[in-house]
Amino acid sequence: MRAGYDEELLSVNEDLVQMTRLVGSAMNRATQSLLDADLTMAEAVIAGDVQVDALTGAIEERCFDLIALRQPVAGDLRVVIGALRIAASLERMGDLAEHVAKQARMRYPRPAVPQELRGTFAVMGGLAEAIVSKTGSVIATKDVSLAADIAAHDTEMDRLHRELFTIVLSPSWTHGVEAAIDVTLLSRYYERYADHAVSVTRRVVTIVTGEPYVGVSLD
Amino acid sequence: MRAGYDEELLSVNEDLVQMTRLVGSAMNRATQSLLDADLTMAEAVIAGDVQVDALTGAIEERCFDLIALRQPVAGDLRVVIGALRIAASLERMGDLAEHVAKQARMRYPRPAVPQELRGTFAVMGGLAEAIVSKTGSVIATKDVSLAADIAAHDTEMDRLHRELFTIVLSPSWTHGVEAAIDVTLLSRYYERYADHAVSVTRRVVTIVTGEPYVGVSLD
């Protein structure tokens, strides 16, 4: 019984790692579609989100069956409930990648970000990639020492988010209101994406260490 | 055993209804603080969010204990897992009310929205109130016929959200980039608040009717 249970749990965990790959690839391609005003890539990201949603649904059903059939308690139950929440956060990260791609599609054939901010968004995309791949490692290996790295990337993401605010509000901003709003929303998508990854990491830390979960403001 | 279980579940349900009251009151007061540039009220909303977070934590613990000790299966388990998710959505609604209050505080003593848009935000606040109070009724009574009303309010909220976009992007917008961004973010907070309420309602519908949950894009 126990061996079968552990196998099922491991398989759920592998699916969660697979989700980090999917939403990582989605954000990478979304960033590319944004920087290159690449409509085909944007459409691919938007169309691909159903795959993320389907995997989330499948993981939820399997967690549900695990609880109903195996009736785990204490630490075991916390792991399964934690997996449910991690899946929900990863699904939202997929939605955020989709939002970025939709913004790229909306402004096509014009780029959605002004030339001089492309570099900043490229860095934000790079940080998103670093964060999500490390989040995948944390889930896979339960090596929570990576949590500090992820938190550092998130701090840098927050800094860039604030920097972009300052830029669009400065008197030297010449791109008008629409571009300012585009930049603000896009920047917020990256910042939220990182926040959800931090939340996932903290869930794993809670499961591994038994320390209470420290919430991240997510909406 | 069963009688005790049903009582515990009822008590969790009452706490969820209580959460709708807390996050409803938070959004009402946040709207008030926004419209009146009322710093004291904004501070009260921001300080009050810990109460929402604490109630969420308490509900989560009780759901966890319910699963571990009573080992519900099938429909019973779906109800408890549903309660966990509803609590998470309501907590995020509290965060969004807090975001509105923080925006009011940031611009104080200046109002965060231009005079001519106060009416629109008053309506959005009213819609948020209507939606959250009906969501509370749906949770309390399981009367899912209110779901259509909630969806209609949400549609109207989306329409106002789009309308505000059009206004801040029109050539006649004279309030500059900062005010445009403030309006866009605030409008998004109300729209997300409504989305989370729709998500809660759909969770209840799923529990009551057994129909599959239809996701709402939430991030």
pLDDT, tens digit (0-9, with 9 covering 90-100), for A77-128: 999 999 999 999 999 999 999 999 999 999 999 999 999 999 999 999 999 9
Domain assignment present for residue A39? The answer is yes
Residue B142 has what pLDDT?
93
Residue A84 touches partner B, C-beta closer than 8 Å: yes
Q: What is the mean pLDDT of residues B166-171?
A: 95
Q: What is the predicted pLDDT for the residue at A74?
A: 86
> Is the per-residue pLDDT at B215 higher than 80?
no
Task: Give residue B136's region: left, alpha or beta (phi > 0; psi -120 to 50).
Answer: alpha
What's the gap between Cα B123 and its chain centre? 16
B196 touches chain A (CB under 8 A): yes
pLDDT score recorded for residue B146: 95
Can you read off the two tokens belonging to residue A211?
């320390």
**B103: closest CA of chain A, how far (Å):** 14
Give start and end residues of each alpha helix (H) in chain B: 2-36, 39-70, 74-107, 118-141, 146-169, 176-209
| CA–CA distance, B46 with A99 (Å, rounded to integer) | 28
In a domain, B216, yes or no: no
Lowest mean pLDDT among B73-82, B145-154, B189-198: B73-82
Full domain range(s) for residue B19: 2-209
**Average pLDDT of the residues of chain B:** 94
Residues of B whose CB is below 8 A from A114: none
Nearest to A89 by CA among A20, A40, A30: A20
Tens-place pLDDT, residues B106-120: 999 999 999 999 999
* Residue B215 covered by a domain: no
- The pLDDT value given to residue B4: 87
Report the amino acid identity of residue A71.
Q
Give CA–CA dist A49/A43, Å, rounded: 10
Top pLDDT among A122 and A206 is at A122
Assess whether pLDDT exceeds 60 at residue B132.
Answer: yes
A 10 A CB-CB count for B4 gives: 10
User: Is pLDDT at A219 greater than 80 in this prediction?
Assistant: no
Whether residues A168 and B185 touch (CB distance < 8 A) is answered with no
B-chain residues near A192 (CB < 8 A): 219
ipTM: 0.86
* Cβ–Cβ contact A1 with B under 8 A: no
Nearest residue on chain A to B180, alpha-carbon basis: A177
Residue A132 in any domain: the answer is yes
Confidence class for position B207, pLDDT limits 50, 70, 90: confident
φ/ψ region of A218 (left if φ > 0, alpha if ψ in -120 to 50, else beta) reads beta
Q: What would the pLDDT profile of A17-68 be if each residue is shown by its tens digit?
A: 999 999 999 999 999 999 999 999 999 999 999 999 999 999 999 999 999 9
Predicted local confidence at residue A211, as pLDDT: 76
C-alpha to C-alpha distances, B121 to A129, B113, B157, B161, nearest whole angstrom: 37, 8, 10, 10
DSSP conformational letter for A67: I
- At B37 the three-state DSSP class reads coil
Domain membership flag for residue A219: no
Residues of A in contact with B177 (CB under 8 A): 168-169, 173, 176-177, 180
Which among A169, A196, A218 is the nearest to B178, CB-wise?
A169
- In chain A, the percentage of residues whose pLDDT exceeds 90 is 89
pLDDT confidence tier of residue B42, bands split at 50, 70 and 90: very high
**Greater pLDDT, B89 or B216:** B89
| Angle in degrees, CA A20, B190, A44, rounded to 5 | 35
Residue A215 lies in a domain: no
Number of domains in chain A: 1
Confidence check: pLDDT of B36 > 80: yes
CATH classification of the domain holding A199: 1.20.58.220
For residue A214, being part of any structural domain is answered with: no
Question: Which residues in chain B are closer than 8 Å to A168, comparing Cβ atoms?
Answer: 177, 181
- Higher pLDDT, residue A5 or B180: B180
Chain A nearest-CA distance from B40, in A, is 22
Q: Is residue B41 part of a domain?
A: yes
Is pLDDT at B218 greater than 80 in this prediction? no
Whether residues B177 and A196 touch (CB distance < 8 A) is answered with no
Instruction: Provide the shortest C-alpha distance from residue A149 to chain B (in Å).
Output: 23
